Amino acid sequence: MSSEINKVVLAYSGGLDTSVIARWLQETYDCEVVTFTADIGQGEEVEPARAKAEAMGIKEIYIDDLREEFVRDFVFPMFRANTVYEGEYLLGTSIARPLIAKRLIEIANETGADAISHGATGKGNDQVRFELGAYALKPGIQVIAPWREWDLGSRESLMKYCEDHAIPVDFASAKKKSPYSMDANLLHISYEGDLLENPWNEPEEDMWRWSVSPEAAPDQPTYIELDFLGGDIVAIDGQSMSPATILETLNKVGGANGIGRDDIVENRYVGMKSRGCYETPGGTIMLKAHRAIESLTLDREVTHLKDDLMPRYARLIYNGYWWSPERKMLQAAIDDSQQVVNGKVRLKLYKGNVIVAGRQSADSLFDESIATFEEDAGAYNQADAEGFIKLNALRMRIAASKGRSML
């Protein structure tokens, strides 16, 4: 099979796993390797990956800053739908994968590569997300997933491979690495493995990287105001910002107030249950604020239809179907609904809580003259409610008259 593959584009972090994969591809497939390293806000320097790739003789090295594209074209569209998987997970890892798949294929086209490769394991969701995206964007692409092929099953075996094949890896750093499997980007950071594999174990406090505990958060609340335009946040406290800067800012203020921690047992697409912990401070704030502005501006049935569609939309993203026609169709409907989602939301952040303190919009459907508990000057005829109720009860009244008791 090695003769069939001449060039591979590898999603490359520069860490232990993908450094081994780079050399393994060269030796197993006798092919040229192109490395692609994406900066999507993981909080670590990506430029050192260049020197590591060069040390392995790699000539074509891509290091791309995708932070703005990530938030603008993936995170923001997802949050227009108020997307939550299984009632809790804000899809921080899931939503990054279609962007990486897209860029892998773009680089494959630019370099003439006939295959792509990734470091996702055969047990997880990421292999599905990467590969579904790749096949959707380039049907004939070949995919190499080393974790499904090789016999290297532990960190120790990977480090031994590095020693045997002269791969430049900082062994001291690798041995000191966190015991958790972690994934980070501008939307979140996740933790899996080690003591978290027992769902009964409470996470250690020193595991968390982005947030203080709610107990240690300030005793005074923090107020912020978010401006929305077309369903997206465009300014914080009156200051216009780019999408990535908005999310960075919300992460900082949210983390400082103990916001965004979650401990979840989720259902992976491949069939198993998985326990993971997540920090999503900015996303937690965004979701609360977006629902608040929608409550003011969206028609009731549009709101309810969006809520009906959201779990399906969330599953599409979680399972790797971002680049599917059904996700594109749903996105068109969601985006159309957001034309009127404009205005301002004031939030109070306090010890892990995001509390809506106010909302206003020129596109508001809230009519105080009708909703008031005071004299409404005839704006609403309460007598109309009698016929409304009787018509809605008609089918139940008929059934009851025919002896169909609900008791």
The answer to whether 75 and 186 are in contact (CB under 8 A) is yes
In the 8-state DSSP scheme, what is residue 148? Answer: G
Question: In terms of residues, how long is the chain?
Answer: 407
Rounded CA-CA distance 71/101 in Å is 16
Catalytic residue among 97, 103, 275, 359: 97
Catalytic residue among 13, 117, 126, 227: 126
Residue given tokens 């250690």 in the structure block? 204
Cβ-in-10-Å burial (0-12, 13-18, 19+) of 326 comes to: exposed
Catalytic residue among 17, 39, 227, 232: 17
* Token code pair at residue 173: 């750093």
Catalytic residue among 72, 114, 181, 364: 181
Residue given tokens 């780019």 in the structure block? 242
The answer to whether 99 and 77 are in contact (CB under 8 A) is no
The answer to whether 193 and 181 are in contact (CB under 8 A) is yes
| Among 346, 341, 347, CA closest to 364 | 341
* Token code pair at residue 230: 């077309």
Instruction: Specify the 3-state DSSP secondary structure of 197.
Output: helix
Cβ-in-10-Å burial (0-12, 13-18, 19+) of 376 comes to: middle
| Among 284, 249, 314, 297, CA closest to 94 | 314
**Number of Cβ within a 10 Å radius of residue 274:** 18
**Which residues lie across from 117 on neighbouring strands?**
10, 144
Rounded CA-CA distance 254/352 in Å is 8
| Among 295, 294, 332, CA closest to 313 | 332
181 is catalytic: yes
335 is catalytic: no
Cβ-in-10-Å burial (0-12, 13-18, 19+) of 338 comes to: buried
- Annotated catalytic residues are 17, 97, 126, 181
